[in-house]
Amino acid sequence: MSWHTVVPVRYTSLEVPVTMPQSVYSDIGHIIAIGDLHGNYAGFHRILERCGIIDRSGHWCAKDTHLVQLGDILGRGGEPGKIFAMLQRLESEALQWGSRVHVLLGNHEAMSMCGLLMYNTMEEFQDLSAQNFVPSLEIVDGFEPMVDWRPMPLASDDPEVIRRAAQTASVTVTAVTVTASTVTAAEKLDKRLDMLGAREFRAALSPWGKVGAWLLEHDSAVSLNGNLFVHGGLNRAHGCQPLDALNARVRKELGSLVRPDTERDTVLRRDGPQWNRDFTLKPNDERGRELDEVLNYHGCRRMVVGHTPTSCIDPARKGQIIPMYDEKMLCIDTGIGKTYGGNLSALRLGKDDVSAVYL
């Protein structure tokens, strides 16, 4: 499938053409992968400069290099609007250097595109507005957020993970403790929508918004030089299929305004590519065999994931990239977001070597 293949994605009331990117690349000179950003624009800029992706003026300067950002650009504060604007510009500039940018969809992108803003803040709302991403509210007439959908249990819902995370300063207890169950998802959303800029933010992330439409052109998983990149993880149920098919399915689900179904929809399932934490938080021999099966299906040597802060995998290694399953899985969510400690890092993958970059 070529980079410029255009397919229609049908919504409830309109049809929008979406550019589907290529999912598999080989013979790339250099790969730089960066985990969850959660709005840390300044940190992201520093990482890119340290890795030689951009120059001091912030423009692309790397030849034959693919940059992979593993999703969760927004959520829990920060300046996601500045990051979106920068990535959109860098996508264009990279092509002039024989390079590419891959922005993968995380669970926070998925939630925001569904109108679920429980983990977003007024700081994010205002930043998106400042970047001129906010459309007229007239275009969202009739768009109702899916307030009765609640994400499947996350790592932060697990008391054991909360206890372990509390042992390290990289993730505060307040950052991982969920609201009491007596507060419904609808009530949490109502509180967010009362914040200045929240409704405009939701419009910008809707399927036809300036950010939402751009995100719909991006993938959930890509294979580069035999490295499989995905936000959460790919198990055999979702991973043993062509990446083009997986990416198209997630894209279709996010582009549809029908009520989501946590049993049917890949993008909402706890074991789906945006949410899976079974490999990182429940490692065992069977998980290792499952990982081998998925990697063998795609002809890949390793899987690179974000989503789970590495301090929740091993509190003693906070802020570090953690290899698992004999280095067949690399976990690179070191907590770049300020909420998680601002631990700046990147993964550098050459054709024959792999190294971590820490700032």
Is pLDDT of 93 > 60?
Answer: yes
CA distance 57 to 217: 27
Residue 356's nearest CA partner among 35, 7, 16, 10 is: 35
pLDDT reading at 116 higher than 50? yes
- Average pLDDT over the chain, rounded to an integer: 83
What is the C-alpha separation between 25 and 241, in angstroms, rounded? Answer: 17
- When mean pLDDT is compared across 72-81, 253-262, 290-299, the lowest value belongs to 253-262
Per residue in 281-291, pLDDT (tens digit) is 999 999 999 99
pLDDT computed for residue 194 by the predictor: 72
Q: How many helices (H) and strands (E) does the chain have?
A: 14, 13
Above 50 in pLDDT, residue 159?
no
Q: What is the pLDDT of residue 189?
A: 65
In the chain, domain spans: 25-358
Question: How far, in Å, CA of 107 to CA of 38, rounded?
Answer: 11
Burial classification of residue 8, based on how many CB atoms lie within 10 Å of its CB (0-12 exposed, 13-18 middle, 19 or more buried): exposed
Q: 139 falls in which pLDDT band (50, 70, 90)?
A: very low
The CATH number of the structural domain formed by 25-358 is 3.60.21.10
